[in-house]
Structure 1
Amino acid sequence: MHTAASHTAALGDAPVHRSRADEVYEQLKRDVSEFKLVPGDRFTETEISERLGVSRTPVRQALFRLQHEGFVEVLFRSGWRVLPFDFDQFEELYDLRMVLETTAAHRLCEDALKVNPAVLDELVAIWLVSPEQRSNDTVQVAQWDEAFHCALVTAAGNAEMARVHRDVTERIRVIRRLDFTKQPRIDATYEEHAKILKAIQRKRGDQAALLLRSHIQTSQAEVRKITLHQVHLARQTGGGTG
Structure 2
Amino acid sequence: MYPPYPTDAEEKKRPLNLAERIYQQLKNNIFDFQLLPGDRFSENEIARRMQASRTPVREALYRLERDGFVQVHFRSGWQVRPFDFRHFEDLYDVRTLLEIAAVKRLCGHINIKEQLAGLITLWCCQENQRLNDSALLAEMDEDFHFALLALSGNQEMAAIHRTVCERLRIIRRLDFTQEGRIAATYDEHAHLLNLMLNRQTEDAADFLSRHIEISKNTVRHITLHRIQSAKSRYNINIRTDN
> What is the Cα deviation at residue 146 of structure 1?
0.4
In structure 1, distance between residues paired with 2:82 and 2:224: 9
- The one-letter amino acid paired with 2:51 is G
> What is the Cα deviation at residue 205 of structure 1?
1.8
2:99 aligned residue = 101
- Asked if 1:219 corresponds to 2:240, the answer is no
Bigger mean CA deviation after superposition, 88-97 or 62-71: 62-71
- The one-letter amino acid paired with 1:139 is A
SS in 1 for 2:174: coil
1:32 aligned residue = 30
Q: Which runs of 5 or more structure 2 residues have no equivalent in the other structure?
A: 1-12, 231-242
1:127 aligned residue = 123
1:52 aligned residue = 50
In structure 2, distance between residues paired with 1:52 and 1:232: 29
CA distance 1:233–1:154, change in 2 (3 Å): farther
**Identical-residue share of aligned pairs (%):** 49
1:196 aligned residue = 192
Tell me the TM-score normalized by structure 2.
Answer: 0.79
> What is the Cα deviation at residue 197 of structure 1?
1.0
Structure 1 residues 120-164: Cα deviation after superposition (integer angstroms, max 9, x where no partner): 222222211122221221101101000000001111000000000
- Asked if 1:209 corresponds to 2:205, the answer is yes
SS in 1 for 2:175: coil
> What is the Cα deviation at residue 189 of structure 1?
0.8
Tell me the TM-score normalized by structure 1.
Answer: 0.79
Match for 1:152 among 148, 152, 155? 148
> What is the Cα deviation at residue 207 of structure 1?
2.0
- Asked if 1:179 corresponds to 2:175, the answer is yes
CA RMSD in angstroms comes to: 2.5
Q: Which runs of 5 or more structure 1 residues have no equivalent in the other structure?
A: 1-11, 235-242
> What is the Cα deviation at residue 112 of structure 1?
3.0
**Contact 1:24–1:59 (Cα < 8 Å) also in 2:** yes
> What is the Cα deviation at residue 95 of structure 1?
0.6
In structure 2, distance between residues paired with 1:85 and 1:57: 28
**Contact 2:146–2:158 (Cα < 8 Å) also in 1:** yes
**Contact 1:136–1:183 (Cα < 8 Å) also in 2:** no
Number of aligned residue pairs: give it: 218
> What is the Cα deviation at residue 56 of structure 1?
0.6
In structure 2, distance between residues paired with 1:36 and 1:112: 48
In structure 1, distance between residues paired with 2:196 and 2:25: 36
1:240 aligned residue = none
1:237 aligned residue = none
In structure 1, distance between residues paired with 2:130 and 2:228: 29
**Bigger radius of gyration:** 2
